[in-house]
Amino acid sequence: MKTKVYIGIRWKFLAIFIGCTGLTLLFVLLGWLLASYLIAYSPYNRPLIWVINHIGSKITGVVFGISFFAFLYITATRPLVLYAKELAAVLEDMASGRFHASTDVKTADELGTIAGNINSLSEQVHSYLDEINHGLTEIAQGHFDYQIPVRENHDLGRIADSINAMSEQLNHSIQEERNAEKTKNDLITGVSHDLRTPLTSILGFLEIIDKDRYTDEVELRYYMNIAYEKSLSLKKLVDDLFEYTRINNGLPLHLRELDVVGFFRQLAEEFVPSLEKAGMTLQIHAPEQPVMIRADGDQLARAYENLISNGIKYGSSGKYIDIYIAQEDGHVSIRICNYGEPIPKRDIPYIFERFYRVEKSRSKSTGGTGLGLAITKSIIEVHGGQISVESSTKQTAFETLLPAAAAPA
C-alpha cells in the first residue's frame, strides 16, 4: 500500500501561497514583456496606449497581479476548504443524533486525522448503540436475563450497566412475584387437601349416625367421639392457618421491652398441666439479671408455645424439657431442648416448611397440622431473629437468636 507523506495544513497553505505568488510574478512579467512587444505594432497598441495614458502601467500591473493571485489562491485552496466543509457537515449530522454518518476525506494532514477520528467515533458509537438497542429489544421481549456487554471507560457503557441492573431488578421482581403466586397456590392446594381429609371422615361418621347404622349407644358414642376429635383437629388447622396467613401478610407488631427470663417463667406456668400429664419436667437455665429484647409478647408466646408443646408431644420419652437463655454479642439465644426420638436428618431441611410433618408423626396422628414450626419461624423472623434446629439421639434443640435490647438502667 502506498503510504502518503504527512504534510500539515500550515505548510500546505504556505506552499500554496508561495506557488501562487511565484506564478503571479511570472504572469505579470510575461504580461509586461507582451505589452512591450505589442506597443510597437499598430493597431494592437491602441488599447495599450489608452490604458497607459488613462490608468497607468503600474496600477494596471498591480490590479492584474492581485486578481490573478486571488484566482490562483482560491482555486488551489478549494479542495482543503471543501474537505473542512465536509467534516463540518458530518459533525453537524452527529450533533443531531445520526451517528452512522461517516466521511471519506483521506488527506495526510490534520483534516485527514480529524476525518479518521470522526469515522472511528461514529463507528464505535453506532455499533455500540446497535448492541444496546438489540439488548433492549431482547429485554422488551421478556428475556430479562439478557446482559448487554459493558464497555469499560465508555460513557455508553454506564448506560448499558444501568440497563443491565434494571433488567436484573425486573427479573428479580418478576421471579419474586411468581414465587409468591406459587406459594399462594401451594398453600391453597395444601389447605384443600388437609381440610378434606378430616372433613371426609367426619361426614362418614355423621352419615353412619344419620342412617342409624350403629348397633348400640356405645357404638353411637364411639362414632360421635371420633367425629368430635376430627372436628377439633379441623378447628386447630383452621386456627393455625389463620395465624400463619396473618403473620405472613405483615401483621402489625406491638413491640415493647420484654425480659425474656420473666417471660419464660410465666409461659412455663401455662404448661404445668400438660407437662404433668406427660410426666415431664421443664427447667429454665437463665442468668440472674434480666435479659431484655424488644418484642410483641403475644406473638412471641405463640412462637414458643409451639416449640414447648412440640417438646412435650415429640419428646415425652425424655422426661425433661430444658430452656437455656443466654445473652451474647447483641443477641439473645434461647435453646429449647428435649430428649425424645431425633428428627431424621433428611427431614431437617424441610422441618420449618408449612404442612411438613415427619412421616412418623403423620402415622402416629399426634394431632398436628404441620404449621406450628412454620408459624414459629415467621414470628421469629418478623422480630429480626433466626431459628435453627439440631437433632441427635442425645437431644433435639431448637435455637432462636433475637436482637438484644439495652438492659434497663
Q: Minimum Å distance from CB 141 to ligand ADP?
A: 43
The footprint of ligand ADP on residues 189-228 (CB under 6 A) is none
Pick between residue 112 and residue 368 the one whose CB is nearest to ligand ADP: 368
* In contact, 312 and 321? CB cutoff 8 Å: yes
Residue 388 Cβ, how far from ligand ADP at the closest point, in Å?
Answer: 13
The residues in 372-401 that bind ligand ADP, with binding defined as CB under 6 A, are: 372-374, 396
Smallest distance from ligand ADP to CB 385, Å: 17
Our CB check for ligand ADP shows the closer of 255 and 301 to be 301
Q: Which helix (H) or strand (E) holds 182?
A: helix 155-210
- The CB-side HSE value for 12 (13 A sphere, CA atoms) comes to 16
Q: Which is nearer to ligand ADP, 24 or 376 (CB)?
A: 376
To the nearest whole angstrom, how small is the minimum distance from the Cβ of residue 369 to ligand ADP? 5
- Positive or negative, the CA dihedral 52, 56, 60, 62 is positive
Q: Tell me the torsion sign for CA atoms 309, 311, 313, 316.
A: negative
> Which residue in the set 112, 135, 318, 370 belongs to the binding site for ligand ADP (CB under 6 A)?
370
Q: How many residues bind ligand ADP (CB under 6 A)?
A: 21
- Alpha carbons 376 and 397: distance in angstroms, whole number: 14
Closest to ligand ADP by CB, 338 vs 378, is: 338
Q: Binding string to ligand ADP for residues 95 to 134, with x set by CB under 6 A, is what?
A: ----------------------------------------
In sign, the C-alpha dihedral spanning 18, 22, 25, 31 is negative
Which is nearer to ligand ADP, 12 or 313 (by Cβ)?
313
**H helix runs in 57-154, sequence order:** 57-95, 110-140
Question: Residue 283 forms beta bridges with which residues?
Answer: 322
Task: State which residue, 333 or 376, has the beta carbon closest to ligand ADP.
Answer: 376
Closer to ligand ADP at the Cβ: 303 or 404?
303
CA dihedral for 261, 263, 267, 269, sign (positive or negative): positive
DSSP H helices in 211-271? 217-248, 260-270
Contact 333, 326 (CB under 8 A): yes
State the residue for C-alpha cell 399462594. 184
Burial class (CB in 10 A: 0-12, 13-18, 19+), 349: exposed
Which CB sits closer to ligand ADP, 258 or 371?
371
Tracing cell 371420633 back to the chain, one arrives at 226
- Grid coordinates representing 256 are 415493647
Site string for ligand ADP, 345-364 (x = CB under 6 A): ------x----xxx--x---
> DSSP labels for 288-324?
SS--EEEE-HHHHHHHHHHHHHHHHHHHGGG-EEEEE
Q: How far is the CB of 183 from ligand ADP (least distance, A)?
A: 17
* Secondary structure class of 104 (helix, strand, coil): coil
Judged by CB, which is closer to ligand ADP: 247, or 371? 371
Query: What residue number has its CB nearest to ligand ADP?
Result: 368
Q: Is 80 in contact with 111 (CB distance < 8 Å)?
A: yes
Residue 334, interface with ligand ADP (CB under 6 A)? no
Site for ligand ADP in 272-311 (CB under 6 A): 306, 310-311
DSSP string, 7-22: --HHHHHHHHHHHHHH
> Residue 396 Cβ, how far from ligand ADP at the closest point, in Å?
4
Q: Strand pairing partners for 332?
A: 327, 402
**Which one of residues 112, 198, 315, 385 is an interface residue with ligand ADP (CB under 6 A)?**
315
For residue 106, the 8-state DSSP code is -
> Which one of 244, 340, 380, 401 is in contact with ligand ADP (CB under 6 A)?
340
User: What character string, x for contact with ligand ADP (CB under 6 A) and - otherwise, covers 232-271?
Assistant: ----------------------------------------
Tell me whether residue 162 or residue 366 sits nearer to ligand ADP (CB atom): 366
CB of 390 to ligand ADP, least distance (A): 11
Kindly list the residues in this chain that would bind ligand ADP in the complex (CB under 6 A): 306, 310-311, 314-315, 338, 340, 343, 351, 356-358, 361, 368-374, 396
